[in-house]
Chain A
Amino acid sequence: DAMVIQNPRYQVTQFGKPVTLSCSQTLNHNVMYWYQQKSSQAPKLLFHYYDKDFNNEADTPDNFQSRRPNTSFCFLDIRSPGLGDAAMYLCATSLAGTDTQYFGPGTRLTVL
């Protein structure tokens, strides 16, 4: 089945130690998104790629970066994780001009 895959499902990192979360998709969608979801809160959009064009949300901290080397893969890099960055990170995809986003299961990040 076509899907959105996030690895790992659980990630533990140390305060200040760079970490990379990955997302891959077999849907061949041209738009990919990263959301941050803190405990008991709604998902918050960090940024998205429209093909290779990167679109950052105005309030996304500089500590968060993203790479999309090809259509199938997208990475979220947190350069210096702080305790406040502990959250579930959700990847989603969509086909531009259509209405549905398809979400992965998320990666739960713990910062020690």
Chain B
Amino acid sequence: DAKTTQPNSMESNEEEPVHLPCNHSTISGTDYIHWYRQLPSQGPEYVIHGLTSNVNNRMASLAIAEDRKSSTLILHRATLRDAAVYYCILRDLNTGNQFYFGTGTSLTVIP
């Protein structure tokens, strides 16, 4: 399974943008890039996913490098409720429905 590498922790000031990086240098052509986050004492929740093109939704934006070896999750204005562990996950639809979580980035939002 392709692996992802993320910083263990990051801090952001409230109401400022946050850029969470993820490296996936061994990504294959059929791997989708998924981001989930896990708030304290809750199960993970879907944030965003993409294949090649940048993606936007109401929660965040996903910027994917042209070579797809890295991606960045962008929270446009961090709030205290965004404090969570953010996981970058590669998923190959050809090999099944499984997710294999990386270590994730713990985001602290400073008021």
Contact = CB atoms under 8 A, between A and B. Distances in A.
Interface of A: 4, 31, 33, 41-45, 48, 50, 55, 90, 92, 94, 96-97, 99-106
Nearest to A4: B43
A94 B101 CA distance: 16
Nearest to B34: A99
Interface residues of B, number: 22
Contacts of B101: 42-44
Given A103-B43, A105-B43, A96 B97 contact: yes
B99 A55 contact: no
A102 B42 CA distance: 12
B103 A42 contact: yes
Given A42-B102, A99-B32, A50 B46 contact: no
Contacts of A99: 32, 34, 49, 91, 93
A90 B41 CA distance: 11
Q: Please list the 7 inter-chain residue pairs (A to B) with the smallest Cβ-Cβ separation, ordered nearest first.
A: A103-B43, A42-B101, A100-B46, A103-B44, A43-B101, A31-B97, A90-B43
A103 B99 contact: no
Interface string B85-104: 00100010100111111111
B45 interface: yes
27 contacts: A4-B43, A33-B98, A33-B99, A41-B103, A42-B101, A42-B104, A43-B44, A45-B99, A45-B100, A50-B96, A55-B98, A90-B43, A90-B44, A92-B44, A94-B97, A96-B97, A97-B93, A99-B49, A99-B91, A100-B46, A100-B49, A101-B36, A101-B44, A102-B46, A105-B41, A105-B42, A106-B42
A49 to B, nearest CB: 10
B17 to A, nearest CB: 25
Contact of B97 (A48, A90, A102, A104): A48
Contacts of B43: 4, 90, 92, 103-106
A104 B99 CA distance: 15
